[in-house]
Chains A and B, each alone.
Chain A
Amino acid sequence: MMSDTTPSIGRWFAELARRQYFWGIVAIVVLLLINVLKDPTYLSISVSPTTGNLVGNLIDILRAAAPIMLIAVGMCLVVATGGIDLSVGSVMVVSGAVSMEFLHSASGSVGDAFLAFGLAVLISAVLGTVNGVLVAVVGLQPFISTLFIMLAGRGLAKVITGGQNTAATNDSFRWLANGYVFGIPVVFILALLVVIAVGVLVRRSALGLMIEAIGMDPKAARLAGVNRRGLLFTVYIFSAVLAGIAGVFGTASVMTVDVSRTGYQLELDAILAVVIGGTSLAGGKFNITGAVVGALLIATLDKTVVFLGVSSSATPAFKAIVIVVLCLLQSERVRQVFRQRRASRPHTPQKEVIPA
């Protein structure tokens, strides 16, 4: 009878606490608290008197989270199929290089901005197709196929720009990254819309189920009639296109592509976001919301590190350690330790089917 009186918020919260990304949310809160300790006004958001836009650290975090959200969602789908996409960072730089190189020689019109965006997405889709062919048709291990694009892609970007860091001017293009709608950064809105669209597409169609099926058991999925090849193609192209859009966001904010820094090591962020979100790197069940939470956490972490005055070059090392820790938590050995501890308590019945 007690449970009836407890509000449903309590149950909702209990449900949330069971998800792995709950701990991502906790981590975000903790990081923000640390920042508040240093500067009590950290969380304040003000309206800029000149432009009417919202200004504040939280807004900066949202802006920074946008590209990470995109690549994390793409990575999430790839990881669910049992693969990995190490090429997202390089696809970003190629996409950025193509759009900058195009805008560099084009006029500053809105049409050109659209064309640049289209070109960037197109080249990303091509790179995604290469990944898809290598993984789905040739049957290479995903990490080797995408490692090839990861390393060759950066070379490709350098070839496209002739080794330069190409800059360009186009106000419409720049608006994508720096503009505001209703006072909120355009990048974040766009990223959120794309992510929601992907989420709805995946969960409303049967794409999600199919992806999980091939990630959990490729053999059984094939015999059930699931078209593995087509799905892998779709997923790798998806991931690359999302990375391409992220690349546009990344370069548009400064209107320069830095061939050695744009998208550099961002595959780490994407993998980290996916793992924080509770998707196992072994494939199978995936969680897009979790990946978004992971992306927000990473953006918060990046900003916090800068805010606290720690050298930002230290963050990759720190992120690597977090990945290692999360992988450890996912590993059977560590889980067993937890399970044994839990099993020693009497009231948690454990049901499991033993292998025949």
Chain B
Amino acid sequence: MTESLPIVEMSDISISFPGVKALDGVNFRLFPGEVHTLMGENGAGKSTLIKALTGVYRIDAGEIFVSGAPTRLNGTSDAQDAGISTVYQEVNLCSNLTIGENVMLGHEVRGPLGINWRATHRAASEVLEKLGLGRLNPRAPLSSLSLALQQLVAISRSMVSRSKVLILDEPTSSLDANEVEQLFTVMRRLRDQDVAILFVSHFLDQVYAISDRLTVLRNGRFEGEYLTPELDRSSLISKMIGKDLVVLESLDSENAVRDHRHTDAPIYRATGISRRGAIEQLDLDLHRGEIVGFAGLLGSGRTELARLIYGADRIETGSVELRGKRVDINSPASALSQRIAFSSENRRDEGIIRDLSVRENLILGVQAKRGWARPIPRKEKDALVSRYLVDLNVRPADPDRAIKNLSGGNQQKVLLGRWLATKPEILILDEPTRGIDVGAKAEIQERVIALADEGVSIVFISSELEEVVRLSDRIVVLKDHRKIAEVANGPSVTADSIITTIAEEGMTDTSAADDDVKEIA
């Protein structure tokens, strides 16, 4: 790689929001013909930096140079004019239009009679061809494509606008290995055409597979810029987390495998449940006092399965037995009345109700279960609220504060309180520890174990496999919306062994390709 002039240089960038300094004197350089990965934990400032570069946020201090010239970016169109295009995690295309229309939107070929559609589609085909997507029919509706291909179509838009800088914000989080490889092929092609690519991903393997250079952010500060081959994984992680690796390992190795033996009949038994596009037919048993972990990558079906159990999505085939009796759980309300509770992974949008107080958020579950006509008496309500605020160590323990003003960890505790107040016999926790601080995380983990000891049947879902392995008595491994294994936890089970299970399963399986073909038909 020649050390040419950077196409983008951001120097000493600061952005603050009321109360928080999101970026504090951050430097960032991007060279033509390189893939540059931005690394950092949640809240490190990655997305803020990207939004500054795409003109969504205005910078408070610092300067941005594009091709050496100082540039002000006051809006997404400014960034696009400067030759910067962005592809976001959720595909930002218009699914009501065709592939070709999406590729060319805003750059249609015009003639004397307005848009020349023949030429426009031809141009779209050429662009797609260049990225190795020549087999796509530009006149087909975008909605007929898989998410991965839609992402590639979004990337091809940057070719149309002849962007010199391409930002890929977590494009791989919902792609499977093949699709990631496909994406990387396209990225390499673009890099060879001297496009500068800013890449964000949480998957270390991918980062080391594709990127030439790394910039690490932590807590809104610049940690350093490195050539990828010169920084090994463990030092990268410690730079991201800002802790010594030794400390990290000791924190993670705390093993809490409990002595759990179930002899009783399962409290929950699902036979052959499925839902199209979410879960393929599977059986599942849950026992009292047992922690069952759902392991699998994002998009493997772990959340979908949880939602089926809770009735948030309807089960299409199969049957469910609860305490030995057949039941039909078709809504969250019916699940609650059967004493099943579910804490969503999406705390912001599906968990807390931001404008309600802590108290109201906490009692909402119990109240919903009772129905609006039977309000909880004042005294009982106060007792309930203060009990859980103390019990779960919510800070500040002020029930009248709007929940949006609490930290993520405390919001999560209030939500846990909401579900515990409904006295669940089955409690499904989807990513209860994501994006919260270490202290709160430990408290929640302890609480989970205590609950299981009290006899609650717990489903624990986390993208951190280590956490799943540490807590679970039994682990259900999911992949591509199927259950591929179920293992009783023991000394031989580690995060690595689970990963091996997931990885090897894919090698021997060839039917997946057929399934995908069916999906299109």
CB contacts (< 8 Å) of B376 on chain A: these are 206
* A217 part of interface (Cβ distance < 8 Å): yes
Bound-state Cα–Cα, A259 to B349, Å: 46
| Contacting residues of chain B (369-417) with chain A, CB-CB under 8 angstroms | 369-376, 404-405, 408
Interface flag for A351 (CB, 8 Å): yes
CA distance A320 to B332 in the complex (A): 41
Least CB distance, B51 to chain A, in whole angstroms: 11
Residue among A225, A284, A285, A352 making CB contact with B19, cutoff 8 Å: A352
Total B residues in contact with A, Cβ cutoff 8 Å: 44
Alpha-carbon separation in the docked complex, A350 to B19 (Å) = 8
Q: B354 on the interface (CB 8 Å rule)?
A: yes
Task: List chain B residues, Cβ under 8 A from A222.
Answer: 312, 331-332
CB atoms of B353 and A351 under 8 A apart: no
Closest to A219 in B: B350
Q: Please determine whether A220 and B350 come into contact, CB atoms closer than 8 angstroms.
A: yes
B364 partner, pick from A213, A352, A354, A356, beta carbons under 8 A: A213
> Is B164 part of the contact surface with A, judged by Cβ < 8 Å?
no
Q: Report yes or no: A354 in contact with B20, Cβ–Cβ below 8 A.
A: yes
Residues of A within 8 A of B353 (CB): 213, 216-217, 220-221, 224
B39 within 8 A of A: no
Q: Which of A205, A223, A285, A356 contacts B355 (CB 8 A)?
A: A285
Within 8 A of B (CB), among A179-233: 204-207, 209-210, 212-213, 216-217, 219-227, 231
Q: Is A138 an interface residue (CB 8 A)?
A: no
A213 to B351, CA, bound (A): 11
A317 sits at the interface (CB 8 A): no
Question: What residues of chain B lie closer than 8 Å to A213, measured between beta carbons?
Answer: 353, 356, 360, 364
B17 located at the interface, meaning its Cβ lies under 8 Å from any Cβ of chain A in the complex: yes
Inter-chain CA distance A210–B368, complex, in Å, is 8
A353 at the B interface (CB under 8 A): yes
B372 touches A210 (CB 8 A): yes
Are B372 and A356 in contact, with the CB atoms below 8 A?
no
Which chain B residue lies CB-closest to A203? B375
Determine the residue in chain B with the shortest Cβ distance to A214.
Answer: B353
B435's partner among A224, A231, A356 (CB-CB below 8 A) is A356
Residue of A207, A225, A231, A350 with highest tally of chain B CB at under 10 A? A225
On whether A209 and B18 interact (CB within 8 A), knowing A216-B353, A216-B354, A226-B333, the answer reads: no
Residues of B within 8 A of A352 (CB): 17-19
Within 8 A of B (CB), among A309-356: 350-354, 356
B292 on the A face (CB < 8 A): no
Contact across chains for B344 and A223 when beta carbons are under 8 A apart: yes
Interface: B43 (CB within 8 A): yes
Q: Is the CB of B19 within 8 A of A351?
A: yes
Flag B354-368 by CB within 8 Å of A: 1 or 0 each.
Answer: 111000100011011
Closest residue of B by beta carbon distance from A343: B18
What is the CB-to-nearest-CB distance from B425 to chain A, in angstroms, rounded to a whole number?
A: 15
- CB pair A354–B333 under 8 Å, yes or no, is no
Question: Which of B348, B356, B369 is within 8 Å of A212, CB to CB?
Answer: B356
Asked whether B336 is an interface residue with its Cβ less than 8 Å from the other chain, the reply is: yes
Q: Distance (Å) between the CB of A18 and the closest chain B CB?
A: 16
Query: Cβ of B43: which chain A residues have Cβ within 8 Å of it?
Result: 356
Find out whether the CB atom of B367 lies under 8 angstroms from the CB atom of A209. Answer: yes
Residue B238 interfacial (CB < 8 Å): no
Q: What chain A residues lie within 8 Å of B374 (beta carbons)?
A: 205-206
Q: Are B354 and A223 in contact (CB under 8 A)?
A: no
Provide the bound-state CA to CA distance between A25 and B351, in Å.
38
Q: Complex formed: what's the CA distance from A209 to B404 in Å?
A: 17
Question: Quick check: B405 and A227 within 8 Å, CB to CB?
Answer: no
Q: With a CB–CB cut-off of 8 A, which chain A residues contact B369?
A: 225
A280 CB, nearest partner CB in chain B, Å: 10
Q: Give per-residue flags for A19-38: 1 if the beta carbon is below 8 A from chain B beta carbons, else 0.
A: 00000000000000000000
- Asked whether, in the complex, the Cβ of A223 is within 8 Å of the Cβ of B22, the reply is no
Interface string of A274-295 (1 = CB under 8 A from B): 0000000000110000000000
State whether A225 touches B356 (Cβ < 8 A): no
CB of B197, distance to nearest CB on chain A (Å): 25
| Cβ of B42 under 8 Å from chain A | yes
Least distance between B202 CB and chain A CB atoms (Å): 15
Q: Is B342 an interface residue (CB 8 A)?
A: yes
B217 within 8 A of A: no
Nearest A-chain residue to B359, judged by Cβ? A209
Residue of A207, A223, A354 ringed by the most chain B CB atoms within 10 A: A223
Q: Does B352 contact A (CB under 8 A)?
A: yes
Q: For the complex, what is the distance from the CA of A209 to the CA of B360, rounded to whole Å?
A: 8
Q: Decide yes or no: A220 and B351 within 8 Å by CB, A352-B18, A354-B22 being known contacts.
A: yes
Q: Which residue of A lies closest to B364 (CB)?
A: A224
B418 interface contact, C-beta 8 A: yes
A227–B333 touching, CB < 8 Å: yes
Distance A224 CA – B364 CA, assembled complex (angstroms)? 7
When distances are taken between beta carbons in the complex, the residues of chain A under 8 Å from B42 are 356
Q: How far is B18's CA from A297's CA once the two chains are assembled, in angstroms?
A: 38
Inter-chain CA distance A351–B20, complex, in Å, is 10
Q: How far is the CB of B312 from chain A (nearest CB, A)?
A: 6
Residue of A nearest to B348 (CB): A356
Q: How far is the CB of A20 from chain B (nearest CB, A)?
A: 16
Is the Cβ of B405 less than 8 Å from the Cβ of A220? no
Contact (Cβ within 8 A) A225 B349: no
Q: Give Cα A226–Cα B408 distance, bound, in whole angstroms.
A: 23
> Separation in Å of the A265 CB from the closest CB of chain B?
32
Contacts of B365 in A (CB 8 A): 224-225
Task: List the B side residues contacting A212 at CB < 8 Å.
Answer: 355-356
**B66 to nearest A CB, angstroms?**
27
**Smallest Cβ-Cβ distance to B48: which chain A residue:** A354
Contact of A204 among B350, B375, B422 (CB under 8 A): B375
Question: What chain A residues lie within 8 Å of B352 (beta carbons)?
Answer: 220
Residue pair A216, B368 in contact (C-beta under 8 Å): no
State the CA gap A221–B354 with chains docked (Å).
11
CB atoms of A351 and B344 under 8 A apart: no
Which single residue of chain A is at the shortest CB-CB distance from B381? A206
State how many angstroms separate the Cβ of A346 from the closest Cβ of chain B: 15
Residue of B nearest to A222 (CB): B332
Nearest residue (CB) in B for A352 is: B18
Give CA–CA (A298, B367) in the complex, Å: 37
> Which residue in chain A gives the minimum CB-CB distance to B411?
A353
Q: Would B17 and A354 count as touching, CB distance under 8 A?
A: yes
CB < 8 Å: which of A217, A224, A351, A354 contacts B332? A224
Q: A216-B353, A224-B364 are in contact. Are A205 and B375 (CB under 8 A)?
A: yes
Closest A-chain residue to B366, C-beta based?
A225
Contacts of A356 in B (CB 8 A): 42-43, 348, 408, 435
User: B18–A351 contact, CB under 8 A?
Assistant: yes
CA distance A282 to B443 in the complex (A): 37
Instruction: Give the CA-CA distance A67 to B8 in the complex, in Å.
Output: 65
B418 near A217 with CB under 8 A, answer no
A-B contacts, 13 of them at CB < 8 A, read: A205-B374, A206-B373, A217-B354, A220-B350, A222-B312, A223-B310, A223-B312, A225-B369, A227-B331, A227-B371, A285-B355, A354-B17, A356-B435
Which 5 pairs between the two chains have the least Cβ-Cβ distance? A225-B368, A354-B17, A225-B336, A206-B372, A207-B372
For the A-B complex with A222-B312, A351-B18, A353-B405 known, give 5 more contacts whose Cβ atoms are closer than 8 Å: A205-B372, A206-B374, A350-B18, A352-B19, A356-B435
